[in-house]
Amino acid sequence: MSKADVLEDWGNHLAQGRRRSPHTVRAYLAAARLLIERTGAANWASLAQLNTAQLRGHLASRRQDGLSNASTARELSAIKSFVKFAREQAGLAEEGAPRLRGPRIKKGLPRPVTPDDATNIADLVEGMAQDDWVGARDRAVLLLLYGAGLRIAEALSLNGNDLPLGETLAVTGKGNKQRIVPIIPAVREAVAQYAALSPWSIEPDKALFRGVKGGPLSPGMVQKAMARARIALGLPATATPHALRHSFATHLLGAGADLRSLQELLGHASLGSTQIYTKVDAATLLDTYRGAHPRERDD
């Protein structure tokens, strides 16, 4: 078996077996290719035998290449998945797999979740989940919060009747008030992927997002998934699911949205609740919003 064969098998497993997005497949293949080149392990047997020290050494060299904190966390997730797959191909038990942790990252002052942080969290949550459908589920929920500005309770209240998502969605918020929010392609695709992978049938009057036992998904499970990703990325404790909704609002305001429109999108009862977002540096947010807000990408 050649290096090309290994990478082809890995790519097929990600794209077809785990139904990862093209963006994720490219990133995970790149991480695997670098690991093979730097360790010399070019078949499943040798890759399965890589130990903790070797993997740590590889990650250390990647840090010296100038890899950012977020990129290091994502590459660590990719390498762990790749080595786990190698051990499965070689017939080795999971118990003996190398144990790796991300680098210690000094926590800074609390800061808003940037567009890059939001997309990195969503991608990492998907990659860290033990089951494919769970990863797709958590990613879909988080993108509903950031890409559509939903409250977590609003996202979890969606049911089968809401599928397939269109360009807009009717949301019932606090005080039983209904509003219409736009749904961008990236969010629609994430929800559709979850629905396709879910082991539970999508029924009209039942919760769309389900827990592992089939009941409605609880907010606590989404919070735990985001907390794991937040720690891996070195983000502050303020980076919670609800912070994604706040980020949706601040980024839109910085991009030129008016307060009245923003009030309607968020479902605020009074304009005063929306005016807090005027304190954000609009110029900075405009640049980051244009560069990285979730949207349909050319994969």
Structure tokens at 41: 């392990």
Please state, in angstroms and rounded to a whole number, the distance separating the CA atoms of residues 62 and 270: 49
Closest CA to 76 of 184, 234, 223: 234
Closest CA to 33 of 72, 66, 1, 4: 4
3-state secondary structure 54-81: HHHHHHHHHHHCCCCHHHHHHHHHHHHH
99 labelled catalytic? no
Catalytic residue among 62, 277, 289, 293: 277
Active site annotation includes 3: no
Indicate the SS3 state at residue 182. strand
Place of tokens 């050649």: 2
Give yes or no for a contact between 90 and 97, defined as CB atoms under 8 angstroms apart.
no
77 touches 124 (CB < 8 A): yes
Q: Is 293 tagged catalytic? A: no
Catalytic residue among 80, 137, 251, 268: 268
Question: Using alpha carbons only, what angle is made at residue 38 by residues 91 and 135, rounded to the nearest 5 degrees?
Answer: 55
Q: Considering 245, 246, 251, 293, which one is annotated as catalytic?
A: 245
The rounded distance, in Å, linking the Cα atoms of 129 and 217 is 15
146 is catalytic: no
**Would you call 87 a catalytic residue per the annotation?**
no
Catalytic pick among 13, 18, 137, 151: 151
Residue partners of 268: CB distance under 8 A and separation at least 6: 274
Instruction: Count CB-CB contacts under 10 A for residue 66.
Output: 7
Q: Which residue among the candidates 174, 177, 260, 290 is catalytic per the annotation? A: 174
- Residue 290 annotated to the active site: no
**Which positions are catalytic?**
151, 174, 242, 245, 268, 277
